Amino acid sequence: MSKTDSYIEVGEALPVEQIIELMNSSGFFSGYSEDEINILSDWVSAYAIPAGEFIVKEGKGDNCLCIMVQGAVDIYKETDPDKHLKIASIVPHEPIGEMGVIDGEPFSASVITSTDSTVLIMTKSDFDTLTEKHETIGIKLLRKIAGIISSRLRSTTGRLADLLSNN
């Protein structure tokens, strides 16, 4: 398993028992059996992160899937050097970084905790290994991620259409 220390620069790593508890309470992992949660927990780390801290930074190449389980974060997109536009807020049970574990591209935005938060993290390397070793769980996880990406794309398309129709 990879270490996620390069992803989280601040915060407290949580023990595996707490990871399983957090996964069981997260809507993201609803539909997974106890055995599947136990297997997934081998590939997931959890961190408690104070408000105002980066979880990921735009343009960084180290990819990971982050699941918000407690707290809230804001998503910022760089518009000019030293200028950032808040484009979204994420609340518990929502993933962050899901595109990067699929396509390997750097993070497309920065994520900053707006409250004290707890996140579950799976690195791209661990995601790839999990999907090779546990294909059924990997397919289930891929379907979940594909559904989220699809939903977000539909929402973005709707917002773009609204913006274009107002001009």
Beta strand spans in 30-114 (E)? 45-49, 54-56, 64-70, 73-80, 83-90, 95-96, 110-113
Mean pLDDT throughout 133-155?
93
Tell me if 87 sits within 8 A of 109, measured CB to CB.
yes
Structure confidence at residue 8 (pLDDT) = 53
- Structural domain count of the chain: 1
We report the CATH number of the domain holding residue 72 as: 2.60.120.10
- 88: in domain: yes
Mean pLDDT throughout 16-26?
92
Mean pLDDT throughout 20-47?
94
Structure confidence at residue 129 (pLDDT) = 96
- 6: in domain: no
Structure confidence at residue 4 (pLDDT) = 42
DSSP-assigned beta bridge partners for residue 45: 121
Sign of the C-alpha dihedral, residues 72, 38, 104, 139?
Answer: negative
Tell me if 122 sits within 8 A of 44, measured CB to CB.
yes
- 26: in domain: yes
| Residue range 87-100, pLDDT digits in tens | 999 888 889 989 88
For 164, phi and psi rounded to 5 degrees? Answer: -70, -35
- 167: in domain: no
Residues in contact with 68: Cβ distance below 8 Å, sequence separation at least 6, in sequence order: 90, 91, 92, 93, 94, 95, 96, 117, 118, 119
- 99: in domain: yes
Mean pLDDT throughout 46-61?
90
- 136: in domain: yes
The span from the CA of 10 to the CA of 148, in Å, is 28
| Residue range 55-86, pLDDT digits in tens | 989 988 678 999 999 999 999 999 888 898 99
The span from the CA of 167 to the CA of 150, in Å, is 26
Range of the domain at 58: 12-161
Most confident of 1-15, 24-38, 59-73: 24-38
